[in-house]
Amino acid sequence: MAKKRTYSTGPFRERAILVGVNVRSQGDYWSLDDSLAELSELARAAGANPVERFTQSMNRPSPTYLGKGKIEQLAHSVKHKKIDTVIFDDELSPNQQRTLEDKLGVKVIDRTALILDVFAQRARSREGRLQIDLAQTEYLLPRLAGQWSHLERLGGGVGTRGPGETQIETDRRLVRHKLSRVKKEISRVQSQRNQQRMQRTGGEAKIVSLVGYTNAGKSALFNRITRSGVIERNQLFSTLDTTTRNMWLPSGTQATISDTVGFVHKLPPILVAAFRATLEEALEADLLLQVVDISSPYAIEQAQVVSDQLLDMGLGDTPRMLVLNKLDLVVSTAYEPLSLCMLDEIDISEFSRVVTTSATQGWGMTELRDAIGAEFSEPYEENTPGLSLHQV
């Protein structure tokens, strides 16, 4: 009798192997090692204990994700190292996931499920919970259907097929019903938020939005600028809800500034779609402050991921300022020259200005405020970054 499978994105604490592939034809600027280092952090954030890494280089993506021999090696490791879960660094198709579970005999999770899991643990507000609920349900829907067809394939015959099919239909109907309910609720929350925005600004104030990689220091900067108490923590995805406050510009006019959810490498598209309501502030922004943690060894890759994802969200034309944060971790005083090699590697022509800050030390706050003010009072000149840096 076939074993019933369940796919869950709920919390788990298990011994895990991390698996990634390097596909030469895809030429990712993010190295496999770096990607797995981040996957390991995500796994820990979700409560798992990564004990080993498995990698494979290949010319083309494999329909089974890994080559046959590699899957055998992996199965051997799973058995001998008492592994509970194998975590893959890319989103697996429902078929790949099922085949790999069959071959490995343990639970198989992909990067998407892991990110959904971390989000689910962090979600506090009603809107955040609704959005993660939507993303998880969208993720589970095709896997749910696959789960039953798999049972039919294996069990088949009398006593399974009929009830199985009925069950698929019932499950799909229930899940679709849930999806439409959650979507309706999200759009209600979204229209309330739009109303609030209009009331707050009369629809006239400029909208500034902090965007950037998770853990870059967006909330810390937001708190510094607006004297708010948004949670800032050394962990992935502290912020899931957008917070908006008014801020005064040096000219005496008001703008609104928003703290938003962070980005991550290979951010699941279903999550971006589900969090569209939360990202509304960024979508409507007159100016994006792209925050980069310059102390991170992955600063360049992280900046690139965020630029690419903003482009995917249709924000390629919104004026963008580069905020190099955590300056205190790379220099000892605010006025020490910053090595230019880093700036050489980031394409600063994408940005209207570059400002360096330390949110924790309060460095660069006046410069940041001035730069935002200047952005709204001067004509935007393309490809002439007005570097308001003391050190460039």
Interface with ligand GTP (CB under 6 A): 212, 214-220, 232-234, 236-239, 262, 325-326, 328-329, 358-360
* Interstrand relation of 243-248 and 206-212 (parallel, antiparallel or unpaired): unpaired
**Minimum Å distance from CB 230 to ligand GTP?**
8
Given 99, 209, 239, 304, the residue binding Mg ion (CB under 5 A): 239
- We find the least distance from the C-beta atom of residue 357 to Mg ion, in angstroms, to be 15
Instruction: Give the nearest distance from C-beta 69 to ligand GTP in angstroms.
Output: 39
Sign of the CA dihedral with 257 first, then 260, 264, and 267 last: negative
Inter-residue contact 150 to 98 (CB < 8 Å):
yes
Single out the residue of 82, 83, 21 nearest to residue 54, CA to CA: 21
**Helix, strand, coil distribution of the chain in percent, nearest 5:** 45, 15, 35
Nearer to ligand GTP, 168 or 236 (CB): 236
Q: What's the min distance (Å) between Cβ of 141 and ligand GTP?
A: 27
Q: Which is nearer to ligand GTP, 208 or 359 (CB)?
A: 359
Interface size with Mg ion, residues (CB under 5 A):
3
Q: For ligand GTP, which is the closer residue by CB, 113 or 289?
A: 289
Tokens at 158, concatenated: 């009398």
Residue 325 interaction partner, one of Mg ion, ligand GTP, none, beta carbon < 5-8 Å per kind:
ligand GTP
Q: Which is nearer to Mg ion, 260 or 352 (CB)?
A: 260
- 328 binding partner (options ligand GTP, Mg ion, none; Cβ < 5 to 8 Å by kind): ligand GTP
Q: Which residue is nearest to Mg ion (CB)?
A: 239
| Residue 50 Cα to chain centre, angstroms | 20
The residue sitting closest to ligand GTP, measured at its beta carbon, is: 262
Burial category of 68 from C-beta neighbours within 10 Å (exposed 0-12, middle 13-18, buried 19 and up) = exposed
Closest CA to 275 of 142, 143, 133: 133
Can you tell me which of 99, 136, 137, 238 binds Mg ion, judged by CB under 5 A? 238
> What does the alpha-carbon distance between residue 265 and residue 29 come to, in Å, rounded to a whole number?
11
Residue 20 pairs in a beta bridge with 55
194 or 360: CB nearest ligand GTP = 360
Cβ 193 to ligand GTP, closest distance in Å?
19
And the tokens for 258?
A: 């928003």
Nearer to Mg ion, 239 or 352 (CB): 239
Q: Report the candidate in 125, 93, 145, 111 with the shortest Cα–Cα distance to residue 271.
A: 111
Does the protein bind Mg ion through residue 99 (CB under 5 A)?
A: no
- Residues in region 178-237 near Mg ion by CB under 5 A: 219
- Nearer Cβ to ligand GTP, position 164 or 364? 364
User: Alpha-carbon distance 169 to 229, whole Å?
Assistant: 47
Give CA–CA dist 296/314, Å, rounded: 27
Q: State which residue, 14 or 241, has the beta carbon closest to ligand GTP.
A: 241
DSSP for residue 106: S
233 binds, among Mg ion, ligand GTP, none (CB under 5 to 8 A by kind): ligand GTP
Write out the residues near Mg ion by the rule CB under 5 A.
219, 238-239
